Structure 1
Amino acid sequence: MHADPAPPVLIDPFQRRIDYLRVSVTDRCDLRCTYCLPKGFKGFEEPANWLSHAEMSRLVGLFVQLGVGKVRLTGGEPLLRRGISELAGKLAALPGLRDLSLSSNGTQLAQHAQALKAAGVQRLNISLDSLDDACFARVTGRDCLGDVLAGLQAAQAAGFAPIKLNMVVQAGVNDADVARMVDFSLQHGFVLRLIEPMPIGDTGRQTQGLDLSRLGQQLARQFGLVPEIKGQGAGPARYWTSANGQSSLGVITPMSQHFCAACNRVRLGVDGTLYLCLGQDDQVPLGRLLRAGASDDELIAAIHAGIASKPERHEFNDQPAKIIRFMSQTGG
């Protein structure tokens, strides 16, 4: 009697197992955050080139067959994509998918939270760069902080827990709001993650960040938090916990202390382009191959070839002008 073969896995040239796929369902967004998209930007992908729900499900299903157990739906703003809950339900039903999550700016969350939970989305990451109305409007281009806070309340009512808040910290813009954000997160049971801006596109290069490794340690002392021995999941954040042992504060430091050695992810753009690194141009046109009639075996071969060329690390510090595409074009 022969034992069943080991399940397939994706291993890159640096022996990193790739088991996490981020899927952009749209490159459109209803905000214009200063570090992401410039005002008046019109270079969005034509909707005719967007993968359909069926095409996305097919490609994601192939990744899951290859050992990817975590999928995150992103954008742009994914809640702008029509039928997002139905797509989430199709993906959640894929055999072998262990974790389905979604990143959002929260403006549309109040009307989608219950449906997303029912569809099988397990976790939410919500962008929130300030609790000050004026600062929020300055960063995002819209005066809609109340909509985001209502969305967070609806998400908690729907049963999402914990909810992670992502705050991109900009020197001289919202850095004075960080302590208030920590206090807000502790009061409401959120996990706050402070993120250093990356030089992706002109907007990213024009954004001045801070060394968040140092700031995280200062905040931990201020709020009586202790380092978490093992961060949540295999992600890039380093966490501190509150007295009850719950993760409360994390920092993501692609600039001051990069985490490329543990990278376990790739990204699928709304047109099916497979991006192998945020800070490199390596990519595979899976969507174009799919629409040209490629079989599943041919698509799997293309995925393997892409993973075999995944670069070792980004070069944000060495070549900050290298990536000209904007963050929304890659997928959050």
Structure 2
Amino acid sequence: MAAASGRVARGLVARYLHAPRALTFHQAQARARHVATAAAVRNSHVQASQVPVPVPAPVPISGLSGPPLPPPITEQPPLPGLGSAVALPSRKHRLRDAKPFSAFLTDSFSRQHDYLRISVTERCNLRCLYCMPEEGIPLSPNRELLTTPEIVLLSSLFVAQGVTKIRLTGGEPTVRRDIVPLMQQIGALRAHGLRELCLTTNGLSLHRKLDAMVEAGLTGVNMSLDTLDPWQFQLMTRRNGFSAVRKSIDRILEMNRAGAGIKLKINCVVMRGLNDREILPFVEMTRDEDIEVRFIEYMPFDGNKWSEGKMFSYQEMLDVIRAKYAGLEREAGHRNDTSKTFHVPGFAGRIGFITSMTHNFCGTCNRLRITSDGNLKVCLFGNAEVSLRDILRKVNSGEPIDEEALEVMKQVALGKANLITPAGEPAPLLAANSNELLEVIGMAVKNKKEKHAGIGELEHMKNRPMILIGVSTNWCFLVISTHYIPK
């Protein structure tokens, strides 16, 4: 094994040493169309020409061989006159409102996809009725799953193109042994444009790792919890563990009271005749705590025995809640929100509804998904996928990229260019064939359809079981054409 790994590493070195010379830092700057703007002038009598400061757009710099990556398409204000006083927005507002973005992640409906969901494992320590077939699923061999370096390389590529939010899902992500080191490496991308690093989990073991995850950069947790009854929990998940989940919730609330600022959402899949009587107790969870409980319409996936009769619709849920809380108020939402958000006046938290079946939100979807075996799945309900893993591994002779191979890539990149970003940070390492990856990603996104097929077709569509998609009771909708699946 060690000898084979060494041969792969030596082959990788040879390929890079004989490759064309990499770009210099200044060439990379020019190719990436860095737009220099005047610095913010806080006093109106100070001239912008006296304090010029470059403000670069996100730049996909790899320091490796081959042509430079196409830069993100940016929307920048015109350069102000050098002799005029300029009052620019604060850094906080500039970061919030800036819209530098990549053409590769923009579809034909002008939807920009800045949210990436990555399934880091197929394994799970629960067997939820709506997620895992009762007979279980065949797990992929380890060789077919993305390695930690591969996840980090793909994350870096997407962040370089404008992704600002990454969510790690499963399976159950906390069963991955190196989940904390993985989060540390992805969290480091905050220096390059990543703003949110989130986790979707069942919460069974989260309380044991939460402190380290927050230290690594965790900003939000979506907790899957479909019942507040321990016996019902065992029935729905086919496992014990209710007390452990509550312990994780309590730990998040405790940390937030100390100022951690973790966004906590509870995801509840409502199924007729099973847990629809627990809607009001879930609403009560938001009375004293800053929690958002999101009720999710039951959806069809392979092996979960979905039927329209089991689905408890958004309107039915809303009627149940309004019968008890007549003053329920709708909140204004963001255009990319997946849920319709409400609050009971006087309550500390909120409730939301993910209405994928009766009122889909495909029209404003900004999400992409990578499965644990490295497939880009741009629609939760689409059954077409394209492998990013196979393209990525071309730089390593088709072998999985392990830590040793990644270290070789780093050393070669440093030896060729030693690039740093204009902010003084080391540039994130990208694969040598990132252009090829971007072409495939771009074609998939461009072929995204306006919306998913609807209940009638989804019920009969052949798709992965939910556990193999990395859904974890949180949803996105995009479709790609099978024309772009490599043969």
Q: Same fold judged by TM-score > 0.5? A: yes
Question: What does the per-residue CA deviation read over 1:60-84, in whole Å, with 9 as the maximum and x for residues that have no partner?
Answer: 1111111111110000100011111
Give the aligned residue type for 1:137: Q
Whether 1:230 and 2:320 are equivalent positions in the alignment is: no
Determine the structure 1 residue equivalent to 2:287: 186
Question: What does the per-residue CA deviation read over 1:25-47, in whole Å, with 9 as the maximum and x for residues that have no partner?
Answer: 00111111100101231312222
Question: What does the per-residue CA deviation read over 1:98-156, in whole Å, with 9 as the maximum and x for residues that have no partner?
Answer: 11110000001110111111110100000000011111111111121101001111222
Determine the structure 1 residue equivalent to 2:254: 157
Determine the structure 2 residue equivalent to 1:174: 275
**CA drift at 1:243:** 2.7
Determine the structure 2 residue equivalent to 1:275: 377
What's the C-alpha RMSD, in Å, of the aligned pairs?
2.0
Checking the alignment, whether the CA contact within 8 Å between 1:101 and 1:122 is kept in structure 2 is yes
Checking the alignment, whether the CA contact within 8 Å between 1:171 and 1:209 is kept in structure 2 is yes
Determine the structure 1 residue equivalent to 2:435: 297
Determine the structure 2 residue equivalent to 1:202: 303
Q: Which of 354, 379, 386 pairs up with 1:284?
A: 386
Determine the structure 2 residue equivalent to 1:26: 121
Determine the structure 2 residue equivalent to 1:254: 356
SS in 1 for 2:303: helix
CA 1:310 to 1:204, structure 2 compared with 1: closer, same or farther past 3 Å?
A: farther
Give the aligned residue type for 2:437: L
CA 1:247 to 1:187, structure 2 compared with 1: closer, same or farther past 3 Å?
A: closer
- Greater CA radius of gyration, 1 or 2? 2
Give the aligned residue type for 2:303: D
* Structure 1 alignment gaps of length 5 or more: none
Matches of 2:149 and 2:34, distance apart in 1 = 34
Matches of 2:269 and 2:232, distance apart in 1 = 13
Checking the alignment, whether the CA contact within 8 Å between 1:220 and 1:226 is kept in structure 2 is no
Q: What are the within-5 Å matches in structure 2 for residues 1-332 of structure 1?
A: 4=35, 6=74, 7-9=100-102, 10-94=105-189, 95-158=192-255, 159-203=260-304, 205-206=306-307, 208-220=310-322, 222-223=324-325, 224-231=327-334, 234-243=336-345, 247-293=349-395, 295-319=433-457, 320-332=459-471
SS in 2 for 1:18: coil
* Structure 2 alignment gaps of length 5 or more: 1-29, 36-72, 75-99, 396-431, 472-487
Checking the alignment, whether the CA contact within 8 Å between 1:198 and 1:316 is kept in structure 2 is no
Checking the alignment, whether the CA contact within 8 Å between 1:197 and 1:204 is kept in structure 2 is no
The worse-fitting range, judged by mean Cα deviation, of 233-242 and 68-77 is 233-242
Scaled by the length of structure 2, the TM-score of the pair is 0.65
Checking the alignment, whether the CA contact within 8 Å between 1:109 and 1:155 is kept in structure 2 is no
Greater share of strand: 1
SS in 2 for 1:186: coil
Checking the alignment, whether the CA contact within 8 Å between 1:213 and 1:251 is kept in structure 2 is no
SS in 2 for 1:57: helix
**CA drift at 1:218:** 3.9
Identity of aligned residues (%): 33
Give the aligned residue type for 1:289: I
The worse-fitting range, judged by mean Cα deviation, of 1-10 and 123-132 is 1-10
Matches of 1:3 and 1:179, distance apart in 2 = 53
Number of corresponding residues: 331
